[in-house]
Chain A
Amino acid sequence: MYFFDIKKLENITTEYFNLIEDYFGAFYTPGLNKYLEAQKFKMLETAIQAILVSIEDLEEDLQEFWQKNSTEVISIIENTDIFKVLYSGDMSPLDGINFIKKTALYLDTLLIEDPISRLLDTKIVFTDKEYLFELTKHIFNLLDMKKLFFGEGSIPLLVIFPPLINKEIAVQIRHEVKNSSANYFSSLLQRDFKDYADVWDYLKSIKSSEQLINDIKDTRLLFLNEDNILERLNKLQIRTKKTTKLDTTSLTMGEILGLEIYGRFSAIGTQVFQSQYLSSQIVFDYKELWDLYKWDINQTVQVTPNVDNTMLHALQTQEFRWLENIDIDKFYLLRNEDEIKMVREALRRNIYHTLNGVSENHVKKQASINLDDILNEHSRKLEGLSKDLKKKFSIDTLAFIGGVISSVPAHLGIVPVIGAVSTIYGAVDIFTSTTKLVKEKKRINKSLMGVLIDAKQRSI
């Protein structure tokens, strides 16, 4: 990405943030918990209405903004040769900076589809309370991460892009989503369905969570990421009924699961399309989505996710939890394309795409070993430099003091100049060589590696 492009992108991002601050700046206080703040609004019935009325023009203003800027943003993203990754999961990474810390080690830029445009589309489905809750949470999240959208001359870590799906593509995606959903339920329920409508007819007949569990042949395929499936299904039922303003009273448990799975496939389909369009990799921040994505591509094209996608997923697992200790300000200041590329290459050492695809476990283990290796290598280098520095300091100081002592009588005797000159040379030598060592030590300390070493030490 050229400097000129970065500047253009940052100007557009500034305009985007000005727009959302115009609407939400009055409610946002930096440092406050976004969930609690959004939750607080949920309790204030009249204030909810006040906010909703006051932001009614947001949709129009945002559409106008993207009409003016989308071509530019898409073209910059498309034509750049950096390592870009498209975010998929919630509307924005709600784990916020912690999610970014864990993935930023491997990518140059994380692309996030404008969450506000996406949320505005949900207005017809969500209740007012839920809609405002989601909107506030994600807008506050963007404002929390605002500085990461500006690289100050370097590539920004985060980039907002406009929705790329037009009506025609939406129809295609919907078609694929229906196929995937039908295949999924065929596998889950071990039944042959004629078509998607047939799936719905069957799902309608599954009235309760208990009946659903009885009908499912392999509950692992539910990808619900929870041990107690019954409890999880009941929660799903309550959430669906509570958050939507559509008439959900007659929905059976089967239909609720159908809606949930359709929604997930739809999110996957949309984001995979967008990532391909922008020639980027994809990262999911929900294990449930990642599992469904893996299942889907395995079923449809018999492949596993590629190394990069698997690595990005691995970095979010427990093994790499310590990455949350990274000082994001330092990290952001020190990161550059070359260093990230070096870390990326180091992380990928001994990880290959074999005929059997990519093993998730192998990627996780090997990446952890690789990262430890590079950190140890740098730690050793750092220790070595410290030792050298100590040694050099004691030896050279002795020589220097010796030089001064010997120069005193010489100074009083016949050849005072020689002694004084040698003393000066000694001092210059100490100064230059020590400065070199100190500089090298500082360089490592103040490099991306230094930040990582710090983060790792803090986790011990």
Chain B
Amino acid sequence: MLSKEVFDAEEFKVSLRAYISFVSRKIKKNPNYNIHPIVRALSHAMENLQNSGKPGTYYGLSGDAKDNPEGVYTQLFFCVLAAHKDKMISIVEFYDLIESRPVPIKVLSYILVLAMKFDKFEGNQINIDHAIKAINSVIPILNCIKFNNNEWKEARDHFESVVEEYKVNAPVEHDEFKITANEFLKIPSNTPMEEYPLAISSTIEHNWVYHEYRELFKDNCINIVFSSRTNEYSKVDCLNHVLSVLYGAPSLYFTSQSEWKYFSDLRLNEVSYKRPSIKRNDPCPCNSSKKYKKCCGR
């Protein structure tokens, strides 16, 4: 029986091969084809390793600033490889510098599949329905539900009634909702949807969908209400949004659903398997400078 991290790593290996084979065909047709920064970071690290040819640790960094008109990074990944003496190469970690978090192995596979699925639609934008369909089919722990913009007025009015009720029956400890409610009350009721702050509008939408379409919510899933002012959504923003839910700050709310494994887990595991047995007269591994037999091995 494979451990979860080994299984995830095997899955990533196959997904990466599929992605590379996909990209090679794309590049044959269009030499300027844009490869996902994750794979670029990995390939930079591999190039560094090949140039050196020695065992050691190698890094690769890649982002999307070049592809953005403002030259800002919306995606920036860092990959660390270890080249061993026996010529084996292992991934030490993938790091998302925008989210400031390591990327879980399983999510790396999701990203590659989604990148290929999104690529089926030309341009930088993707239709929101297509995006939701792709995300839901690839990531089983996510359940994206689209908010219908035509229901904004009803959603807003419903939220107002919730806030009114909250004023009467609010539990004292609900500070977060209190902040949102107070913010909401400051906004005139005739303000168009587009002018609402994102945090408030998404709360209104989520609340409405949960109230009106509860059957769309799934158990043991992270349910996200997706909304877009237009029918088209930036592919990169969409993917970043998903990543943020999966392992960024919001993911802290859903740890029970995800239980991610990282390359660092795999490596620790590997090391623990390979750890040589300690002889009685060896120095103790706890750095006490005593012999093992007189310290931890007693």
Contact = CB atoms under 8 A, between A and B. Distances in A.
Interface string B35-75: 00000000000000000000000000000000000000000
B34 interface: no
B110 interface: yes
Contacts of B120: 53, 56
Interface string A225-249: 0000000000000000000000000
Contact of A26 (B20, B110, B112, B137): B20
Consensus secondary structure, chain A interface: helix
Contacts of A49: 113, 137-138
Interface string B1-45: 000000100110011011111101100000000000000000000
Given A26-B21, A57-B25, A51 B138 contact: no
Given A22-B25, A46-B11, A46-B138, A51 B18 contact: yes
Nearest to B22: A54
A232 B113 CA distance: 39
Given A53-B113, A54-B116, A46 B18 contact: no
Interface in B165-215: none
Contact of A47 (B11, B21, B117, B140): B11
Interface residues of A, number: 18
Interface residues on B, range: 20 to 34
A54 B18 contact: yes
Given A44-B10, A56-B120, A50 B25 contact: no
A56 B25 CA distance: 12
A425 interface: no
Nearest to A51: B18
Contacts of B21: 22-23, 25-27, 54
B10 A50 contact: no
A127 to B, nearest CB: 14
A47 B138 CA distance: 10
Given A23-B21, A55-B18, 17 more contacts: A22-B24, A25-B21, A27-B17, A44-B14, A46-B11, A46-B106, A46-B109, A46-B110, A47-B15, A49-B113, A50-B14, A50-B15, A50-B116, A53-B18, A53-B116, A53-B117, A54-B22
Interface of A: 22-23, 25-27, 41, 44-47, 49-51, 53-57
Closest 7 CB pairs of A and B: A50-B15, A47-B14, A54-B22, A50-B18, A54-B18, A26-B21, A26-B17
